[in-house]
Chain A
Amino acid sequence: MSTQLLEKAQQLREAVRHFVAHEMPAELRVKSQRHQVLERQDYLQWMQLLERKGWAVGHWPQQYGGRQWSSLERFVFEDELARLGCPWIIPFGVKYVGPVIYTFGSEQQKQRFLPGIVKTEEFWAQGYSEPGAGSDLAGLRTRAVRDGDHYVVNGQKVWTTYAQWADWLFCLVRTGTDGKPQSGISFLLIDMRSPGVTVKPIHTMDGYHHVNEVWLEDVRVPVENLVGEEGAGWTYAKFLLQNERTAGAIVGQARHVLDRLKKQAVETRVDGRPLIEQPLMRNRIGEFELRFLALEQASYAGVLAMDEGRDNGGEASLIKIRGTELYQQVSETLVDALAEAGMVFDTEALHATPGLPLLGADDVGGILKEHLYNRANTIFGGSSEVQRNILAKVVLGL
């Protein structure tokens, strides 16, 4: 079984490589390989390109427009795109809320929302976290009170990625206060144009606007925008988090930055000699390659276990912990290897065309931007600490 799976996945990998080399518009490729700032329009273009290849929702069942990819195919697809430095696949529609809607939503919701998700005609944002509910998501307090055919929603969400572009917010709200904190939660789809929705930017240390506060004040949400049953939102929320599991991009990003480091170590000169000749640098790269090898092999093993139903719940945590931590450390070494060019941070150059930095290679500004922002990778999507708690509790039974 696994040989067949591997072969199919390898074919997909080659198709992706071909697509990036020959079909991706050059302007978008250059922008993303330099890690320049991508706007809503760039992401739209990107997602629609993938959609035309049939890849945007390749992991969905056929009846909803997908190709019923195995976990491995899905992993390899994301891995290869990330290795090649392609734009992020914004997950909120195609990876997160789409599967929740086709699994738990009403017929009417499927018809209303799935086409717009498949084609990325509507942008989605994820309204889970709140000021008081981060790692402890079940501590959320945003209230939804039934009033005739509507819910009236009050509360505040935070860290909401790209809410400034979103047409819709999928949102966890509290509809009940009895019993365990998990039991009174419901899953609502909120139109971002509703009166009472306010988006306020939060600036991150890379100088950009990725995340937001979303304030909800007496927002009226039609009852038909409740997904599944009232009070069962935690089940859907957990289902959604499981869909984050085959995160191939984490491994691909680590590979991408490690390749970039090797290139930089050839380019940077110390006393007239390439940096890569220095034993210290060779040793560092060797250690990173070793860790990458372990990450890659363990990721494949874990994803295959998922496809064959042998997984134990720890596979995704392994990829997340090892992949994000390796990525951060390689990125740190890369910034160091840039020498003087790695000390200057010019946010203007990342917007301008052609947007070239004062010193160093064309992508230097982008490397720094990514480095500053990737500190978040060990925080969101289940922090490294939360992942270790999962391993200890769920897998090791401690």
Chain B
Amino acid sequence: MTTDIETIGMLRNSLERYVEDNCSFLQRQELMKEPGSFSQQVWSDLAEFGFLSLCLPAEHDGLDGDAAAVGALMEVVGQALLQEPFLMSAVLATRLVARLGDAGQRGRLLVGLAAGELIFSCALEQADACQLEDNRLSGRIPLVMHGDAAHGLLVAARDARGQLQLCLVDTDQSGVQRTAARLLDGRGAASVTLDNAQVELLATPNNGLSLVDNLQLLRDEASVALCGEACGMIRVLLDTTNDYLKVRKQFGKPLAVNQALQHRMADLYLLLQEALALTDAAQRALSGPVAERRRLVSGAYTYICDAARQVANEAVQLHGGLGITEELNVTHYFRRVMLLNSLFGGRDQHFLRFVEQSLTAA
């Protein structure tokens, strides 16, 4: 299933317009002073304008958006550094419930997720951190992004027979202890301790893939969504730095006239073009053969992670003293870019998988 190009363009434009008015850098700076980690108002607006229904299946009147549609919105998320749990709840958790929940679970949960009334987060990386026995889950998850605000956690864990399961944990129960934390970029997270927490399993795959394959696919989808977000961040960093070099004068002329700096900007531009092309390719590969999917997703993620770092480092450097200040948007992108390295398995795991796939493909 592909989302048609007009729909994607329309979605993207309307989200861009919304964030321009409601999630400007200054508004974000104000938000960061508040105790909560994101804006409830923005979250309910995103629901009201239908953005949280992007991944909702058609049978629930959702858009059933594909990877390109998700990527288009993630680019805007990156451009505006949105703090809200769009990716975790409206994309990843929604897809998991839609694909792995039984009819009852889908009916009970999906509408709440799309309405923003339910916020879910996912912890899929450390299946050995928790033990599952008789629908009770115990263990410690060191860090879950948006775990501080989540009503439910989707946790991958092994059962007594060693089989991978996907557990939904209601966070409002005595067996769940959360310590809230703030990530480098100010987004919320939590360290979670589970002590015989009651869970329900999402164990009814309805898309022809096994549960294990579903979890792998979802992790790939998450990584590709982050590629989109990274492209948005790279674009803003590049534009901001380019504009600054034209206006900042030293030695009686704009910094931009220094050829050494022009060449560095040219290199950053190349990185953006490569990142955009790789993101596109990885989005397409998500619905293709598994081996090719692995190679492209992991290649794209590794390259884009490194590219985003280089662009962020250069953006800071080329702003001089200004480049390390809290008041400049650049430092906030810098901090979010740092996180890319460790999210969803992280850069090195992808790189190793890319090498593996490239060697076996030959």
A340 to B183, CA, bound (A): 10
Taking the complex as formed, is A352 at the interface, i.e. its CB lies under 8 A from any CB of chain B? no
> Are the C-beta atoms of B321 and A343 separated by less than 8 Å?
no
Residue of A nearest to B351 (CB): A280
Taking the complex as formed, is B339 at the interface, i.e. its CB lies under 8 A from any CB of chain A? yes
Residue of B nearest to A280 (CB): B348
| Interface footprint category on A | 35 or more
Residue of B nearest to A328 (CB): B313
B182 neighbours in A (Cβ, 8 Å): 344-346
Contact residues, A333-356 vs B (CB, 8 A): 335-336, 339-346
A379 to B261, CA, bound (A): 15
Taking the complex as formed, is B51 at the interface, i.e. its CB lies under 8 A from any CB of chain A? no
> Are the C-beta atoms of B324 and A336 separated by less than 8 Å?
no
Taking the complex as formed, is B341 at the interface, i.e. its CB lies under 8 A from any CB of chain A? yes
> Are the C-beta atoms of A134 and B250 separated by less than 8 Å?
yes
Stretch of B71-79, B167-175, B274-282, B327-335 that contacts chain A: B327-335
A380 partner, pick from B143, B252, B321, B352, beta carbons under 8 A = B321
> Are the C-beta atoms of A204 and B250 separated by less than 8 Å?
no
A379 neighbours in B (Cβ, 8 Å): 317, 320-321, 323-324
B184 partner, pick from A278, A368, A384, beta carbons under 8 A = A368
B250 neighbours in A (Cβ, 8 Å): 134-136, 139
> Are the C-beta atoms of B321 and A134 separated by less than 8 Å?
yes
A335 to B309, CA, bound (A): 13
A32 to B179, CA, bound (A): 27
For chain B, the count of residues having a C-beta within 8 Å of the partner chain is: 39
A280 and B352 in contact, given A139-B250, A340-B342, A345-B183 (Cβ under 8 angstroms): yes
CB distance from A224 to the nearest CB of B (A): 32
> Are the C-beta atoms of B325 and A383 separated by less than 8 Å?
no
Mask for B127-149, Cβ within 8 A of A = 1, else 0?
00000000000000011000000
Contact residues, A312-326 vs B (CB, 8 A): none
A336 neighbours in B (Cβ, 8 Å): 341-342, 346-347
Taking the complex as formed, is B42 at the interface, i.e. its CB lies under 8 A from any CB of chain A? no
CB distance from A341 to the nearest CB of B (A): 8
CB distance from B324 to the nearest CB of A (A): 5
A368 to B184, CA, bound (A): 9
Taking the complex as formed, is A129 at the interface, i.e. its CB lies under 8 A from any CB of chain B? yes
Taking the complex as formed, is B111 at the interface, i.e. its CB lies under 8 A from any CB of chain A? no
Taking the complex as formed, is B164 at the interface, i.e. its CB lies under 8 A from any CB of chain A? no
A344 and B181 in contact, given A373-B324, A375-B317 (Cβ under 8 angstroms): yes
> Are the C-beta atoms of A158 and B338 separated by less than 8 Å?
no
19 additional A-B pairs beyond A134-B321, A280-B348, A376-B324, beta carbons within 8 Å, are: A134-B320, A136-B252, A158-B321, A203-B326, A205-B324, A280-B351, A336-B347, A340-B342, A342-B342, A343-B189, A344-B143, A344-B183, A345-B184, A359-B142, A373-B324, A375-B334, A379-B317, A379-B323, A385-B261
Q: List 23 A-B pairs, Cβ < 8 Å.
A: A132-B249, A134-B320, A135-B320, A136-B252, A139-B250, A202-B327, A203-B325, A204-B324, A204-B326, A328-B313, A340-B342, A342-B342, A344-B143, A344-B183, A359-B143, A359-B181, A375-B316, A375-B324, A379-B317, A379-B321, A379-B323, A380-B321, A383-B320
